[in-house]
């Protein structure tokens, strides 16, 4: 009985985690074993950042507004793999840039925050 409850909990957790992202990840290949992905979240206004790299080191996520002012800064990991969700529903409408600094490779991409009727939308470019 204890094993079946544990298994059921693991399955539910796995389903919950796997269903949080709905769009195809925007991946930035660094080399054969290194990759940075930005994945829009389905249920929340934001995205997940996933980093997979060969050599341990710091990965940093920074978000800038259209005037290049730092809006948010976060240390993602000091290891080789990391995944973290960023909920951005408090951002004002406008154009933003997310930058992920990962050992040996940096990526930048634009994203937009706007309203469609009463619904706030966050869209990666």
pLDDT in tens, 28-83: 444 445 688 888 988 888 999 988 887 788 889 999 999 999 999 999 878 788 88
- Number of structural domains (the chain) is 1
The domain in which residue 96 lies consists of 21-124
Q: Looking at the whole model, is its pTM more than 0.75?
A: no
The pLDDT score that the predictor gives to residue 104 is 65
Which H or E element spans position 58?
none
| 8 Å CB contact between 59 and 100 | yes
Three-state DSSP state, 44 = coil
Domain of 36, CATH number, reads 2.60.40.3080
The pLDDT score that the predictor gives to residue 53 is 80
Distance CA 99, CA 5 (A): 41
Each residue's pLDDT tens digit, 74-111:
998 787 888 899 998 899 999 999 999 877 667 889 99
Nearest to 44 by CA among 112, 122, 117: 122
Which H or E element spans position 108?
strand 105-116
User: What distances in angstroms separate CA 49 from CA 9, 14, 42, one per listed residue?
Assistant: 25, 18, 14
Cβ neighbours of residue 85 closer than 8 Å, sequence gap 6 or more: 20, 41, 44, 46, 47, 48
Residue 12 inside a domain? The answer is no
| 8 Å CB contact between 83 and 48 | yes
Residue 11 inside a domain? The answer is no
């Amino acid at each position: 009985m204890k094993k079946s409850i544990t298994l059921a909990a693991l399955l539910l957790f796995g389903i919950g985690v796997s269903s949080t992202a709905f769009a195809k990840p925007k991946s930035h290949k660094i080399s054969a074993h290194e990759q940075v992905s930005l994945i829009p979240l389905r249920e929340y206004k934001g995205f997940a950042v996933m980093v997979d790299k060969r050599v341990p080191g710091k990965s940093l996520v920074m978000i800038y507004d259209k005037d290049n002012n730092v809006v948010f800064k976060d240390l993602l990991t000091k290891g080789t793999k990391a995944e973290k969700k960023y909920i951005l529903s408090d951002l004002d409408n406008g154009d933003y840039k997310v930058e992920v600094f990962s050992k040996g490779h940096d990526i930048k991409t634009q994203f937009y925050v706007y309203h469609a009727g009463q619904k706030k939308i966050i869209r990666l470019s």
